[in-house]
Amino acid sequence: MKTEHEILEMAFAMFLEKGFSEVSTNELIREAGLTKGGFYYSFKSREDLDQRVVEKFIHPFFTKPVEKMQEAWEEKRQDIPTGELLWHGFFMPQRFVNFQNAIGKEIAFRNFYFLLYESMKKFPEVGEYFKEFNTRKGEILHRILERGQMRGEVTKDIDLENYVTMILAMQDGILALKVLDDGIDDEEKYKNIQKQMWKDISTEGYEKYRDGGVTSAVS
Average pLDDT, the chain: 90
Strand, coil or helix: 153: coil
Structural domain contains residue 98? yes
Residue 10, class by beta-carbon neighbours within 10 Å (0-12 exposed, 13-18 middle, 19+ buried)? middle
Quickly list DSSP for 35-47.
-HHHHHHH-SSHH
Angle at 192 between CA 133 and CA 206, to 5 degrees: 95
CATH code of the domain containing 166: 1.10.357.10
Residue 150, class by beta-carbon neighbours within 10 Å (0-12 exposed, 13-18 middle, 19+ buried)? exposed
Structural domain contains residue 25? no
Phi-psi region of 108 (alpha: psi -120 to 50; beta: other; left: phi over 0): beta
Distance in angstroms (rounded) separating the CA atoms of residues 111 and 141: 28
Number of compact structural domains in the chain: 1
Structural domain contains residue 13? no
Distance in angstroms (rounded) separating the CA atoms of residues 214 and 219: 8
Angle at 189 between CA 196 and CA 130, to 5 degrees: 105
pLDDT in tens, 146-176: 999 999 999 999 999 999 999 999 999 999 9
Structural domain contains residue 35? no
Write out the residue range of the structural domain in which residue 149 sits: 57-205
Structural domain contains residue 9? no
Residue 182: pLDDT band with limits 50, 70, 90:
confident
Higher-pLDDT residue of 48, 78: 48
Structural domain contains residue 41? no
Higher-pLDDT residue of 110, 77: 110
Structural domain contains residue 66? yes
pLDDT in tens, 52-85: 999 999 999 999 999 999 999 999 888 899 999 9
Higher-pLDDT residue of 40, 214: 40
